[in-house]
Structure 1
Amino acid sequence: MKPLILASASPRRKDLLEQAGISFSIVVSDANEQIDEQFTPEEAVLSLAEQKATTVFEQHPQSIVLGSDTVVSLDGEILGKPASEQEAFRMLRALSGRTHQVFTGVCIVSEEGMESFYEEVDVSFYPLTDEEITAYINTQEAFDKAGGYGIQGVGSLFVERISGDYFSVVGLPVSKVVRTLASYQVSSHLFR
């Protein structure tokens, strides 16, 4: 069995794969992670996941490499990770009382080739007050998350409902990933 490498620095993706009983190592990709400004959110997450996976695969060609990326989209506009408190505030104010989309792209690369897919999830926020947004920003949780919030943390208090795979919003559609990895002879120790 070939070793699996997760090409991501995300602690959330690491935790999800560990919870699924998958054995893997981590090699953080040094890909530029540039996307064409004309890309749709779907194209963006697939491109970013592929960049991460292929960059690490070039260094470890005897492995199976899993790359993933997540973006938040509101009215077709991609919301990345906020660089400042002001940007986080603007993002959360825009998401307040609205439904947005979270896209998570996955790319698996091995000697046999490359396989990519994405998941799209609708997330609806309750209306937020300026005080709630400011208090949330003060937790510092907003700054390493696409769209300026983490559904698995304090940001869960903003979510009225989701339609789709919760774990995709966290950062990895873990059930689909595990089922896809099975075709590469990578399986969860939970089912052996």
Structure 2
Amino acid sequence: MGYQQKIYLASKSPRRRELLRQVGIDFEVLLLRDSAPRGPDVTEIVLPGELPDVYVARVTQEKAVAAWNAMLARHLPPRPVLAADTTVVINQKILGKPADRDAAIAMLSQLAGSTHQVLTSIAVKYQHQLLQCTQRSEVTFAPLSDAQITAYCDTAEPYDKAGGYGIQGMAARFIEHISGSYSGIMGLPLFETCELLQSFKNS
């Protein structure tokens, strides 16, 4: 059997919710602030000279700690908090979520006909303990025409996703090969998540 204890998911991603349900993990969403008046609980700004794996691990850890503190401040029942962050990397350059259509087109143009990395870091925080790991996958895109890229960027799909695409959506037709974790590319590597929760339970 899998992990039985109910957890908090510190993410508004519908894909992460879907993936947790897929493996039978009971959870409640614990949202962090991402706007005014006091600003976001966690900013996703890359620090000068910060390497992609360091960046994604740092942001994930900050999300887990912020969500744990929010749980305490809201006087919610104490439960393990799961946080995650996904970043797309090509030639050591981090591609975040595109701000607009032009940014999405530029990202897809970089990814077309090449292989990039998808890093998803996960962290579980409970009491004074925090366990974390980062999963790395590789994704190879077929060459894409300008018309294919602009047609995709005319849909709503690219704009809330790192790298400007969703492997579980229409962009699947662009992908020649993946190496690693399909669920990790979606935003939550299920094998590693279940292992982390289980080791947390047994620690």
Q: In which range does the TM-score fall when normalised by the shorter chain?
A: over 0.9
SS where residue 160 of structure 1 aligns?
A: strand
Give 3-state SS (helix, strand or coil) of 1:184's partner.
Answer: helix
Residue among 159, 163, 173 paired with 2:189: 173
Letter in 1 for 2:58: S
Matched, 1:122 2:138: yes
Q: How many residues are aligned here?
A: 186
Number of the residue aligned with 2:51? 40
Distance in 2 (alpha carbons) for counterparts of 1:175 and 1:184 = 14
Residue aligned with 1:162, SS: strand
For normalisation by structure 2, the TM-score amounts to 0.87
In structure 2, the residue matched to 1:5 is 8
Are the structure 2 counterparts of residues 2 and 164 from structure 1 closer, same or farther at C-alpha, using a change threshold of 3 Å? Answer: closer
Match of 1:56 among 67, 90, 110: 67
TM-score (norm 1): 0.92
**What are the superposed Cα offsets for residues 141-188 of structure 1, whole Å, 9 maximum, x if unpaired?**
0101100100000011111100111110000011111122123349xx
Deviation per CA, 1:20-62, whole angstroms, max 9, x where unpaired?
Answer: 1000100112323244132111111111111111101012252
SS of 2:113 mapped into structure 1 = coil
1:62-89, Cα deviation, whole Å (9 max, x unpaired): 2210000000001000000001111100
**Secondary structure in 2 aligned to 1:29?**
coil
Q: Which residue of 2 aligns with 1:19?
A: 22
Q: CA deviation at 1:2?
A: 5.9
Stretches of 4+ aligned residues off by more than 6 angstroms: none
Question: What is the percentage of aligned positions where both structures have the same residue?
Answer: 38
SS in 2 for 1:63: coil
2:84/2:121 contact within 8 Å kept? yes
CA shift, 1:112, in A, is: 4.3
| Consecutive unaligned residues in structure 2, runs of 5 or more | 34-40, 73-77
Aligned partner of residue 24 in structure 2, secondary structure: coil
Aligned to 1:67: 83
Residue aligned with 1:91, SS: helix
Q: Looking at both structures, which has the greater relative contact order when contacts are Cα pairs under 8 Å and sequence separation is at least 6?
A: 1
Gaps of 5+ in 1: 187-192
Q: Does 1:157 align with 2:164?
A: no
Instruction: Write the distance in 2 (CA, Å) between the matches of 1:176 and 1:151.
Output: 19
